[in-house]
Structure 1
Amino acid sequence: MIVRRGGEADMAALAGLRDIGEGGLAAFAGWVAAHAETHLPFVAEVDGQVIGAAWLLVAERVPGGAATSRWYGDIQSVMVREGHRNRGVGAALMAAILDEARARGLEHVTVHSGRRAVDFYLRNGFGQHRQMLIWEPGE
């Protein structure tokens, strides 16, 4: 298995992992190109076939005090094809993303997890944080 940054050649596979069909591929590729500086795709492949992907959102926080540059990351859209789950693919994607976060000097990395994936993130170095709060609009 190889884990690497995703690129233009991976658009169809990345779209497929997000359940975006052929009709939406051009719009998806346009979105990826427009967000290339902030949304970094990582792919896992076996024998040249993409079997999983995860995205790192890189964003800047408002400067404060002596810190004029405050960057953080958020993990988004982690997907592994069903036949390849529970084989370390997700962990390899997380390792690559967290290596990128370290290389960029990000202050922290967050993830908004579904209930079933919480243990996965805990095993991969994430912890629950008492100061992280969320607001969701009411109906």
Structure 2
Amino acid sequence: MIVRKSGVADVAVLAELRDIDGDQLDAYAAWVAAHARTHLPFVAEIDGYVVGAAWLLVAERVPGNGSLDRRYGDIQAVMVREEYRGRGVGRALMTAILAEARTRGLRHVTVHSGRRAVGFYLRTGFSHHRQLLLWEPPPS
């Protein structure tokens, strides 16, 4: 298995993994290109076939607390093809993304997980954080 940074060259497979329809491919490709500095896609390949992908959002908090550099990461859009689940693809993607986070000196990395994946993220080094709060607008 190979895990590598991805980008515009892989936009078709990235779109497929996100269930983006072909008629939206050009708009999706434009979004990927426009966000290339902040949204970093990674793909996992087996024998040249992309079997999974995950994104690292690199964002900044307002300077303060004695630091001007308060960059952090957020893992988004993790997808492993169903027939490749349980083979270490997700772990390999997380290893690559967290290595990138360390290289970039990010203060922390968050992930918003569905219930089924919480155990996976805990096993890859994430922990629950008591200070993370969430606001959502009321249903309309």
What range is the shorter-chain TM-score in?
Answer: over 0.9
Q: Hey, what's the Cα distance between the residues in 2 that align with 1:136 and 1:24?
A: 28
SS at match of 1:37: coil
Q: Give the share of equivalent positions with the same residue, in percent.
A: 71
Look up the equivalent residue of 2:66 and give its one-letter code: A
Q: Hey, what's the Cα distance between the residues in 2 that align with 1:59 and 1:65?
A: 17
Residue correspondences, number: 139
SS at match of 1:96: helix
What is the Cα deviation at residue 9 of structure 1? 2.0
C-alpha RMSD of matched pairs (Å): 0.7
Query: TM-score normalized by structure 2?
Result: 0.97
Q: Deviations over 1:75-113 (max 9, x none)?
A: 000000011000000000000000000000000000000
Q: Hey, what's the Cα distance between the residues in 2 that align with 1:5 and 1:137?
A: 34
Look up the equivalent residue of 1:6 and give its one-letter code: S
Match of 1:62 in 2: 62
Q: Hey, what's the Cα distance between the residues in 2 that align with 1:138 and 1:20?
A: 27
Structure 2 alignment gaps of length 5 or more: none
Match of 1:127 in 2: 127
Match of 1:73 in 2: 73
Look up the equivalent residue of 1:68 and give its one-letter code: L
Structure 1 alignment gaps of length 5 or more: none
Matches within 5 A, 1:1-139: 1-139=1-139
